[in-house]
Structure 1
């Protein structure tokens, strides 16, 4: 293969990821000469097949901030176990800063019942049926991080059975 060329497999992997900008904020820093303007972008990156990450990027221009946010999001990916109905395996709670998130699995056809940054994170994780509620804070960054925190705590029956060292059939009894 020619030097510098990527195999079709790796190229397909890169285009696999979807990015959604949750918030762009103009932030200022007061320095000796006045105020220094920069932009903060909160970006959610996911492949809609069980992997999602939240990233934050800061730069003097919006495009640079979004690029940095995407790179940061890819560094902080979490794996989400999905059920056959594209829901979560069990209810979960998560916290991030002052934000609390409560999530419950839902029946097929329910859709993503969530608001703001929580909806974006769940959609890019590949969750199709879920009920979620933000509690405590409306801050998009904290809510996104709280959602990722809740998704990290999810475990499947197989995981629990393996941890306990018993066959899966014994869990149902």
Structure 2
């Protein structure tokens, strides 16, 4: 009976993570006998409580590629601070290849105003009120990576005060 409970707890932890496929693309490699076809899946994994990651998987079938993408996404998780208004602490930008992403906090009730892969990353991170804009490339993988980089660069007031070795009140007075 106790082993069943442990298994159910593990199942609860596994279902805690959500995964969304951003893109599935058929790719080919030229080999001696001709072309070898495989699938590339871009997957975003998040728990909607401040942890999110982007993963890429390649396999001969779609299901295998998605599984590899989920595993890769869980390896590359970033932790982000979320405010009481379910937004981010300050505006930020991120770059991934030729893609640039601008992310700004928004007032409660605004929702997620973003497009494509950036929207998926923000939703799975647990951000509910935010404005985002993709600049440059429209490549979903680069935009997702740029969004992850932007979110990873976020810092709270407490973290900044700790880095500078001053109190939060002194931050406000400067």
What range is the shorter-chain TM-score in?
A: over 0.9
Offset of residue 52 of structure 1: 0.1
Distance 2:9 2:54 in 1: 25
The residue matched to 2:88 in structure 1 has which SS? coil
What is the TM-score when the length of structure 1 is the normalising length? 0.96
RMSD: 1.3
1:102 paired residue number: 102
Describe how 1:53-132 pairs up with structure 2 within 5 A.
Answer: 53-132=53-132
Offset of residue 5 of structure 1: 7.7
Distance 1:160 1:13 in 2: 32
Q: Is residue 48 of structure 1 aligned with residue 59 of structure 2?
A: no
The structure with more helix, counted as a fraction of residues: 2
Which consecutive residues of structure 2, in runs of 5 or more, have no partner in the other structure?
none
Deviations 1:106-133 (A, max 9, x none): 0000000100000000000000000100
Which consecutive residues of structure 1, in runs of 5 or more, have no partner in the other structure?
none
1:164 paired residue number: 164
Q: How many residues align?
A: 172
Distance 1:6 1:25 in 2: 38
Distance 2:101 2:45 in 1: 19
Distance 1:164 1:18 in 2: 36
Deviations 1:71-103 (A, max 9, x none): 000000000100000100000000001100001
Deviations 1:47-90 (A, max 9, x none): 00000000000000000000000000000000010000010000
The residue matched to 1:68 in structure 2 has which SS? helix
The residue matched to 1:155 in structure 2 has which SS? coil
Offset of residue 171 of structure 1: 1.2
Distance 1:80 1:160 in 2: 14
Offset of residue 11 of structure 1: 2.9
1:30 paired residue number: 30
